[in-house]
Structure 1
Amino acid sequence: MKKTIALLAAATMLFGLTACGNGNTSATTNNASGTSGQQTEQEKPKSADLTGDWKQTNSKSEDSWMEATISGDTIEVNWMGGDTKSLYWKGSYEAPTEAGDWKWTSKGDTEAMKSALLASQDETKDFSYSADKQELTYETTMLGTTMTIRMSKQ
C-alpha cells in the first residue's frame, strides 16, 4: 500500500511539473534566497555601426591629420591641415553584417579622385575595423613610405 501511494504521489508531482510549463525555453536559476527566477536570454551581439565621422589618432603632427566620413555605401577620407581639406580617398563602403572585427575592400571613385592632387592613385583600398579597439585602420603610402592610419569614431 505504501508503495502504491508513493508511486501515485511521484506521478502526481511529475504531472504537476510538466503541466506548469508555458512553452518558454529560457533557463531558470535559483537566486540566493532559494526562489526560482527566470534568466533572460543573452542578446545576440550586433554588428558595429561605422557610419559617421572618424579622426586619425596616430598623427605625429598637431596641425596635420586624416579624417574619414562613412555615409550610406561610401567612405571619403581627407587630409586635414589648418584651414585646408584635401581629398585622399573616395570609394565604396560595405557595412558589417556580423559582430566583431570587419574588413572590406573599397573600390575607388576614380572620377572623383582624378583631379585631387593628394588623392590615392590606387584602384582599391583595404579597410579594417577592430571591434575590441573600436578602431578603423588602413594603409597609405607617400614618397615610398607606408604608414598604417588609425582612426577613432568622433
Structure 2
Amino acid sequence: MAQIALIALLGTGLAGCATTAAGTDGTSTGATENEAPAQPADLVGEWVQSNKKSEESFQSATITADTIEVFWVSDGGNTKALYWSGTFETPTVSGPFSWDSQNDTEKTSGALLASSDPTKTFSFDNDTIRYEVTALGVTTTVELKRQ
C-alpha cells in the first residue's frame, strides 16, 4: 500500500515538472514575455565611409524614406560629386537585408563621376551598409556607418 502511495506521489511530482508555467489568464510567464520584438533598422539619415583610405577622399550617403544618394567627397569634405542616386527600399524585417537600387538616370546622367549602372546592390548588416564601387577598372567594397 505504501508503494502505491509513493508511486502516485512521484507520478504527480513528475507531471508537475512537465507542465509549463502559466499566468491566471492562461498565458506563459516565461522571461521572453518582457522582450520587445526586434524592429527593422531605420536607415534614414547621413552615412560616411568607414573603410576610407584617406580623410581627404571618401564616399558619403544620404538616405531618405525612398531614395539613396551617394557622393564622392574630396578636399576633406569641401567638395562633393554625385556618384549614385537611386531607389531605397525600407526594410520590413529585422536583421541583415539587401536591396537593388534603381538608378535615377535623370540625376546621374549629367554627373561626370556618377555610375551609369542601371542598378546597384546595397546590403545592410551589423550597422554597416556595403556596396561595390568600380572606378578606373578597380572594384572595391565601400562600407558606410551612420554619421
Would you say same fold, with TM above 0.5?
yes
User: Aligned letter for 2:58?
Assistant: W
Shift of 1:152: 0.3
How far did 1:45 drift?
A: 0.7
TM-score with structure 1 setting the length: 0.76
Indicate the residue corresponding to 1:67 in structure 2: 60
Equivalence for 1:26: 28
1:2-41 → structure 2 map (5 Å cutoff) = 22-23=24-25, 25-27=27-29, 40-41=33-34
Partner of residue 142, structure 1? 135
Equivalents in 1 of 2:28, 2:57: separation in Å?
54
Question: RMSD between aligned alpha carbons?
Answer: 2.1
Report the secondary structure of 1:49's partner residue. Answer: coil
Partner SS state of residue 59, structure 1: coil
Unaligned runs of 5+ in 1: 1-20, 29-37
TM-score (norm 2): 0.79
Paired residue for 1:32? none
The CA deviation at 1:24 is 5.1
Q: Report how far residue 60 of structure 1 moved.
A: 0.6
Q: 1:42 Cα shift? A: 2.0
Contact 1:141 1:147 in 2 (8 A): yes
1:21-44 per-residue CA deviation (whole Å, 9 max, x = no partner) reads 64251316xxxxxxxxx8733211
Closer, same or farther: CA 92–39 of 1 in aligned 2, 3 Å:
closer
- From 94, 105, 110, the equivalent of 2:105 is 110
Structure 2 counterpart of 1:110, one-letter code: T
Letter in 2 for 1:54: W
Alpha-carbon distance in structure 1 between the residues aligned to 2:32 and 2:69: 44
Secondary structure at the aligned position of 2:107 is classed as: helix
Counterpart of 2:89, as a letter, is: E
